[in-house]
Structure 1
Amino acid sequence: MLKYDKAAKEAHVSGLTGSTVSDVNSVALAMPLAVLLWSTLQSRQRTFTPYKPVAIFVDFLINCCATLFATTIYSSSTWLFNFLLILPAVFIATTSQPVTARSSKPPVKELSKSKPPSRLPIKPFITHYRGSMLVITCVAILAVDFRIFPRRFAKVENWGTSLMDMGVGSFVFSSGVVSARSLLKNEAGVRLPFAERLVRSTRHSLPLLVLGVLRLLSVKGLDYAEHVTEYGVHWNFFFTLGLLPPFVAVFQSLFDFLPSYALLSLILATLYEIALDRTDLGKFILTAPRTDLLSQNREGLFSFIGYLAIFLAGQSLGMSVLPRQASVESKSSWRILLRRTILGKLVLATTFWTVLFYWTVSYAYGLGLRLSVSRRLANLPYVLWVSSFNSGQITLCYAIERIFFPQIYKASSETEEAQRARDATSPVLSAFNRNGLAVFLLANLLTGLVNLTLPTLQMGTVASMAMLLAYIAALSAVALTLDRMNVSIKL
């Protein structure tokens, strides 16, 4: 059996400085462009209806392999790869007409029983966004251990931006977006007392905290490589995810006094940034010796504040875009279109977070705060960067949906609308989205298995790509199987 080189693994992911925001954007653009290509094929040629083996392979190739290729073999030619994705989509869209889906109308007896469309319809663009984020997260956590994955994409040590830094924040942001659905469902009902909401959220946290403990024990027991400055000696990402629900319950109570999750997020991140800059907190997190439990896990404990702000920012966006869009006349003023349409709300949110981000990191003409992004601290610029990036990604996914599937929300019944939504949604991305946390857990287990059994740092390009393709194919197969069996694993 090959000797596991823990020191080499740790050195491979330590002391990195990342890349630029534009570099991260150019790589991540492959995800919405893959959705664009999928949507073009489905709307113009019905490639994925019915969903037979060839359709499954093409779906996997577009929405999983494209992400893998963008972060590995095409990492030095990101714009060329983006061009290769957009070129066939533009060609197909301009040379063929949309194919009308065959509507399977219910029998006459059932027409009277058909429910009207829900006020919280299924949104394919949200599924595409979140599914894509889960795919790139799963790809990166294993690919980072291979030479073929550029060092500029791996997590930075202290200050800077990278693809994996964005991936961690995006996982939390996307969780905030989908969590808004439960809040919106309860709006019309009786609001639960704070104590009961806190108890329910704590119950939801327990499985994640248990996973955190199991990961801690397995990492220490197997003497597995770990980057201590990422979260600390004992902390891990599952602890961060597990503590979010009870703290979010507290901020839902504050919503009565300040009815905007975006402002709550901004206030929390700003107060945290003031503490980092005006006290010794920032110095403590970055340089203090690890002498006790607090100092040993300071990164995970204090960065949780930033991740909570990111979750609230995602929740704010979800509250705006998940409900059915109100009827708006096409001749309405641009102010009304911005305030009342989903596209307008997304553009406003993206602009809001982007302007704030560049204000905090720049100092042109004496304006701006000239702060640096730090995923390790999860400071204010990091919160704003994650919020800006994810709002932009969702905006692109929504624009693609509006162009290629404009009839989704014009159905006369809930059943018909659900069918239209299914026709407009990639089954692979839907499967990742449905059991996202379970697939993420499996990805962590497979990553550990691969690293303990293979010399990933010594593997060449062909062997590395073969391993990564087999890995993402296995995750896709599990996700699709669970979806076909109608299984939803709630952790």
Structure 2
Amino acid sequence: MDPSYKARKEAFVSNLAGSNIADINAVSFVASASVLLWSALQSRLSFFTPYSPAALLTDFILNVLAILFATTAYSSAPVLLNIFLITPAVLLYLTQPPQRSQYKAKPPRKAAANDDRSQDQAESLPVHPFLTTYRAAMMVVTCVAILAVDFRVFPRRFAKVENWGTSLMDLGVGSFVFSAGVVSARAVLKSRASRSKKTPFVGRLIKSVRHSIPLLLLGLIRLWSVKGLDYAEHVTEYGVHWNFFFTLGFLPPFVEIFDSLTALIPSYEALAVIISIIYQVALESTDLKSYILVSPRGPDLLSKNREGVFSFLGYLAIFLAGRGVGTRIIPRGTSASKNPQQARKSVLVSLTIQVMFWSTIFFFNSSYAFGYGANILVSRRLANMPYVLWVAAFNSAQILLFCLAETLFFPSVHRATGKEGEEERNAFATSRILHAFNRGGLAIFLVANLLTGAVNLSIPTLDVNTPQAMAILVAYAGILTGLALVMDKFNFKLRL
């Protein structure tokens, strides 16, 4: 890469101040509004069944392009875009009856002595379309942003901040980790429900290390490619050598270590808060904060990669917070004394409590809060306590919104008490594109990174005008969507 252009690229993503949280929420809400309109079209008109070319195009426009345009062409008017999406959804809901008869709730069957234990476990941990939608929407936002940020059409206020502040991309990194924590709760719940003897801690730790190896290898490959191709990089993001794949790779063994502490502290949320407090106290009462932010980069590896190493504590707390949410909302929740409607109400109440809990302590942690707050600025670079709380509050709220949309438009999903007909109900209530993005998440993320590198090495993105940039981004989004659908059709998944 030409040295002068490389310097321009690095300056383009450096020393940014971000945006305010209200602005970020308005842009992020487009994903929820799009799903709301998709749900209205499907539940009232069965628009996406069968999945015709028109249905595919509409699905792509709503669940991929709407997010792309919210962060680019409509970035100055996200509220207007939300109104465009919500208004027809409300009209459809009020004027059109559901097009598919709702499944009637059946009483939970009594467990027989010879019941298959694995079947019971499967029935108690169903697949939730609202979680599929949440994870996929987060993946779409992430994939769109990692390339769009290199073009001038993507506002600088959405790019990662230098030291202090909030931005859309800062939120995206934490959301990626939080969502991983949410889905990791399924394995924890299965282990708790199993009658077999629990694997010893050492065995679980070794298994988690094996799980980490592929991610760490991806981190090494990214490091080699960035240095070998002289690719523009923002060193203060993670450090000289560290990258996001290393953060993901080191999470499993450390999560396993802290998981063993649930015998003493039976709450993942409490563990997340404790880690955040200890880390924040260290930042405020020692020289750690100044060491991370302003000290010279010494010859040792720690000094060169101090942002990645120390921010890992914040991401660990975010992962545990996500796992805490997952353990509360994944189980079906029905019993002899609780029908499906009551179980869904419990999920909504639990999510509401989560939103209120994380939002309240974030408010007191990040502001003066009428003279009672700590007024600590958010820092994604440090992954400090306000950042952890912000990510947890935002993602809990997003899950709540998707759960409300599913409850409102597809009540047959949560009224089910067993696996019978679950696949059909879930398919009807889930966007085909979002389902595909959720299934192929890691592979799509890898391809998105490769395509981003290829575009940046072949096109001077800083010098591209707005129509050209939008054409490239729409084509990029189309390629990723096509890849996701093909992978889903042929049942290809990249497992680590």
2:312 aligned residue: 304
**Whole-angstrom CA distance in 2 between matches of 1:184 and 1:272:** 28
Q: 1:418: Cα distance to partner?
A: 2.1
Q: Is the 8 A contact 1:435 1:490 kept in 2?
A: no
- Which runs of no fewer than 5 residues in structure 1 stay unpaired? 104-112
**Whole-angstrom CA distance in 1 between matches of 2:76 and 2:383:** 28
1:23 aligned residue: 23
**Whole-angstrom CA distance in 1 between matches of 2:2 and 2:278:** 49
2:87 aligned residue: 87
TM-superposition CA deviations, 1:149-180 (whole Å, max 9, x none): 00000000000000000000000000000111
Q: 1:411: Cα distance to partner?
A: 3.4
2:193 pairs with 1:194: no
TM-superposition CA deviations, 1:168-202 (whole Å, max 9, x none): 00000000001111111111223211101101111
2:140 aligned residue: 135
Q: 1:313: Cα distance to partner?
A: 0.2
Deviates more, 1:165-174 or 1:362-371: 362-371
Q: Is the 8 A contact 2:19 2:157 kept in 1?
A: yes
2:163 aligned residue: 158
1:390 aligned residue: 395
1:265 aligned residue: 272
Deviates more, 1:217-226 or 1:44-53: 44-53
Q: Is the 8 A contact 1:326 1:341 kept in 2?
A: no
Of residues 217, 220, 226 in structure 2, which corresponds to 1:219? Answer: 226
Q: Which amino acid aligns with 2:100?
A: T
Q: 1:8: Cα distance to partner?
A: 1.0
2:51 pairs with 1:51: yes
Q: Which amino acid aligns with 2:266?
A: P
**Whole-angstrom CA distance in 2 between matches of 1:138 and 1:9:** 19
Of residues 311, 317, 321 in structure 2, which corresponds to 1:313? Answer: 321
Q: Which amino acid aligns with 2:307?
A: E
Q: Is the 8 A contact 1:410 1:417 kept in 2?
A: no
2:436 pairs with 1:431: yes
TM-superposition CA deviations, 1:229-259 (whole Å, max 9, x none): 0000000000000000000000110011100
Q: Which amino acid aligns with 1:319?
A: T
- Matched residue SS, 2:258: helix
Q: Is the 8 A contact 2:143 2:448 kept in 1?
A: yes
TM-superposition CA deviations, 1:294-322 (whole Å, max 9, x none): 11000000000000000000000000000
Q: Is the 8 A contact 2:36 2:405 kept in 1?
A: yes
Q: Is the 8 A contact 2:333 2:343 kept in 1?
A: no
**Whole-angstrom CA distance in 2 between matches of 1:325 and 1:33:** 28
- Matched residue SS, 2:16: coil
Of residues 277, 280, 285 in structure 2, which corresponds to 1:278? Answer: 285
Q: Is the 8 A contact 1:34 1:62 kept in 2?
A: yes
Q: 1:326: Cα distance to partner?
A: 3.2
Q: Which amino acid aligns with 1:286?
A: L
2:240 pairs with 1:209: no
Summarize the alignment of residues 33-182 of structure 1 with structure 2, pairs less than 5 Å apart.
Answer: 33-100=33-100, 118-182=123-187
- Matched residue SS, 1:356: helix
**Whole-angstrom CA distance in 2 between matches of 1:3 and 1:44:** 56
1:253 aligned residue: 260
TM-score calculated relative to the size of structure 2: 0.93
TM-superposition CA deviations, 1:74-93 (whole Å, max 9, x none): 00001001101101111111
1:488 aligned residue: 493
| Cα distance change, pair 46–258 in 1 and its aligned pair in 2 (3 A) | same
Summarize the alignment of residues 312-331 of structure 1 with structure 2, pairs less than 5 Å apart.
Answer: 312-326=320-334
**Whole-angstrom CA distance in 2 between matches of 1:488 and 1:236:** 24
1:418 aligned residue: 423
Q: 1:325: Cα distance to partner?
A: 2.5
Q: 1:424: Cα distance to partner?
A: 0.3
Q: 1:403: Cα distance to partner?
A: 0.3
**Whole-angstrom CA distance in 1 between matches of 2:412 and 2:101:** 10
2:299 pairs with 1:294: no
**Whole-angstrom CA distance in 2 between matches of 1:239 and 1:412:** 41
Q: Is the 8 A contact 1:265 1:313 kept in 2?
A: yes
User: How many residues are matched?
Assistant: 477
- Matched residue SS, 2:263: coil
Q: Which amino acid aligns with 2:476?
A: Y
Deviates more, 1:216-225 or 1:428-437: 428-437
- Matched residue SS, 2:162: coil
**Whole-angstrom CA distance in 2 between matches of 1:415 and 1:325:** 16
**Whole-angstrom CA distance in 1 between matches of 2:338 and 2:210:** 45
**Whole-angstrom CA distance in 2 between matches of 1:40 and 1:275:** 49
Q: Percent identity?
A: 55
Q: 1:2: Cα distance to partner?
A: 8.8
Q: 1:56: Cα distance to partner?
A: 1.2
**Whole-angstrom CA distance in 1 between matches of 2:354 and 2:370:** 26
TM-score calculated relative to the size of structure 1: 0.94
- Matched residue SS, 1:325: coil
- Matched residue SS, 2:481: helix
- Matched residue SS, 2:495: coil
Q: Which amino acid aligns with 2:480?
A: L
Q: 1:3: Cα distance to partner?
A: 8.8
Q: Which amino acid aligns with 1:50?
A: P
1:109 aligned residue: none
Q: 1:365: Cα distance to partner?
A: 3.0
| Cα distance change, pair 4–40 in 1 and its aligned pair in 2 (3 A) | farther
**Whole-angstrom CA distance in 1 between matches of 2:78 and 2:333:** 35
1:106 aligned residue: none
Q: Which amino acid aligns with 1:232?
A: G
**Whole-angstrom CA distance in 1 between matches of 2:381 and 2:2:** 33
Q: 1:52: Cα distance to partner?
A: 2.2
Q: 1:409: Cα distance to partner?
A: 2.9
**Whole-angstrom CA distance in 2 between matches of 1:186 and 1:295:** 40
Q: Which amino acid aligns with 2:78?
A: T
Q: Which amino acid aligns with 1:147?
A: R
**Whole-angstrom CA distance in 2 between matches of 1:126 and 1:372:** 30
Q: 1:329: Cα distance to partner?
A: 6.5
Q: Is the 8 A contact 1:134 1:171 kept in 2?
A: yes
